[in-house]
Structure 1
């Protein structure tokens, strides 16, 4: 396999131009730069400046060589060569899709021209992407790429609950449809007590969000019953919670619609990772600074529709709505 070498930097091009002007031999330049002579010959051949009208200006100039190099690199970027693809990618990002979801959906739909998620990230952080502030459309809105940090959770406790360690294997392994995870999205205290319940079905990743006026557990449970009771019983078999006190009225779910409840270990909300991941997606639309007055049920339904119409890698780039509807159809078509 051939050796991969990094491209010359602008500083190296400045030195190369100065030494070429001093008539230094190419092998000596290569030695000083720690490069192979072939690399220097290739650079001089590809990035030299030529002007038929003013031949006296012909030669190797660092600034011009850098510009030629950058333009040639840009030609090979699909998002620059295909403005219509770039526009489609940008539109999907604005609708909350991640680069990986966009790329996966392109593969699923067999687009004639596709881009990888890495191509999207590289464009966003390229010179051209930075000029357009393309990073603002990415899920995290970061100016530069960095490793994802870890979140810390500080929650209360409830007792006498069924531990998820005792969940049947078909629930834990996502082999059975109709098992949900639940959490609350809170906002700044100065904006009042209004919060949002986030519900996610574990197999399809289908999301439901509900407005709550405060953190009292009984009204939250009643809202869950109102939101899920219209579904077939096999589509609402159980809900997994953390041990926050807002879920202490969990027995009402069994009495109200026959739904079981499971609970994470104390201080281990990461055990319901599906809803935690969904909360991150919801935060793009519902940051902590959200004004509770704007949290109408219509707005929450619009956000849900957007999330449920977004393709997911874990679903083979199908959407949660597509998977959820197909599972509901299977339940309704079962012989009694």
Structure 2
């Protein structure tokens, strides 16, 4: 639970702690969102519908053909987060949605500590909720989100990550993340010299 998170997560002092969620669209379509708490850097998860969506009847405990079932979300998070250096993969805080039923395997696959918000407490992932609000400028409610591919999601993430933020002293999330990455390189050189 979120109450078990270390204080470094809550005070945003240490980078590498993420918040995640899904934004839902028309026809049970979805896009996954990951937001780093310190830098507000955003990564979007492509969650395409499975091949037989709309054709096959839903099977209890079967695959989520809408594309945002537990296995699909686990795989999308793992694939995306593993592109980052280890020091930027510390934890992930999510709501209590069924899409995180594979959280134990996600932890094994990525090394992320996984925390869950209290029920009906979206403000406990404030950075992610704010980002999801910004994303609705690009993906309005009632839109079929399955029409957007990885290229479109990358373009939207780029737009958000190059948008200056007051909370970052008018730096962009990309600049803030770049500073974190450069500091890690400097610290690495200092310890080996």
Q: TM-score, normalised by structure 1?
A: 0.49
For the residues of structure 1 that align with 2:147 and 2:5, how far apart are their CA atoms? 38
Aligned-residue RMSD, C-alpha? 1.3
Query: What's 1:285 paired with?
Result: 138
Query: What's 1:167 paired with?
Result: 5
Please, which runs of 5 or more residues in structure 2 have no aligned partner? 49-66
For the residues of structure 1 that align with 2:118 and 2:142, how far apart are their CA atoms? 30
Kept after mapping to 1: 8 A contact 2:24/2:145: no
- C-alpha change, 1:292 and 1:168, in structure 2 (3 Å) is closer
Aligned residue pairs total: 171
Shift in Å, 1:293: 4.9
Shift in Å, 1:290: 2.2
Please, which runs of 5 or more residues in structure 1 have no aligned partner? 1-162
3-state DSSP of counterpart to 2:31: strand
Alignment deviations for residues 50-69 of structure 1 (CA, whole Å, 9 cap, x no partner): xxxxxxxxxxxxxxxxxxxx
3-state DSSP of counterpart to 1:215: coil
Instruction: Name which of structure 1's ranges 166-175 and 277-286 shifts more when overlaid on structure 2.
Output: 166-175
Shift in Å, 1:183: 0.3
Specify which structure has the higher proportion of strand. Answer: 2
Kept after mapping to 2: 8 A contact 1:198/1:209: yes
Alignment equivalent of 1:176, drawn from 10, 14, 18: 14
Shift in Å, 1:294: 3.0
- C-alpha change, 1:182 and 1:293, in structure 2 (3 Å) is closer
Work out which of the two has the higher radius of gyration on C-alpha atoms and give 1 or 2: 1
Alignment equivalent of 1:319, drawn from 152, 172, 175: 172
Query: What's 1:218 paired with?
Result: 71
- C-alpha change, 1:265 and 1:291, in structure 2 (3 Å) is closer
Kept after mapping to 1: 8 A contact 2:5/2:115: yes
For the residues of structure 1 that align with 2:146 and 2:128, how far apart are their CA atoms? 24
Kept after mapping to 1: 8 A contact 2:47/2:146: no
Shift in Å, 1:288: 2.0
Q: TM-score, normalised by structure 2?
A: 0.85
For the residues of structure 2 that align with 1:232 and 1:277, how far apart are their CA atoms? 25
Q: Identify the structure with bigger relative contact order (alpha carbons < 8 Å, sequence gap 6+).
A: 2
Tell whether 2:183 aligns with 1:330. Answer: yes
Tell whether 2:24 aligns with 1:186. Answer: yes
Query: What's 2:99 paired with?
Result: 246
3-state DSSP of counterpart to 1:199: strand
Query: What's 2:118 paired with?
Result: 265
For the residues of structure 2 that align with 1:309 and 1:292, how far apart are their CA atoms? 22
Query: What's 1:227 paired with?
Result: 80
Kept after mapping to 2: 8 A contact 1:183/1:241: yes
3-state DSSP of counterpart to 2:102: coil
For the residues of structure 1 that align with 2:146 and 2:104, how far apart are their CA atoms? 31
For the residues of structure 1 that align with 2:125 and 2:134, how far apart are their CA atoms? 15
Matches within 5 A, 1:74-93: none
Shift in Å, 1:164: 1.0
Instruction: Name which of structure 1's ranges 197-206 and 244-253 shifts more when overlaid on structure 2.
Output: 244-253
For the residues of structure 2 that align with 1:188 and 1:257, how far apart are their CA atoms? 31
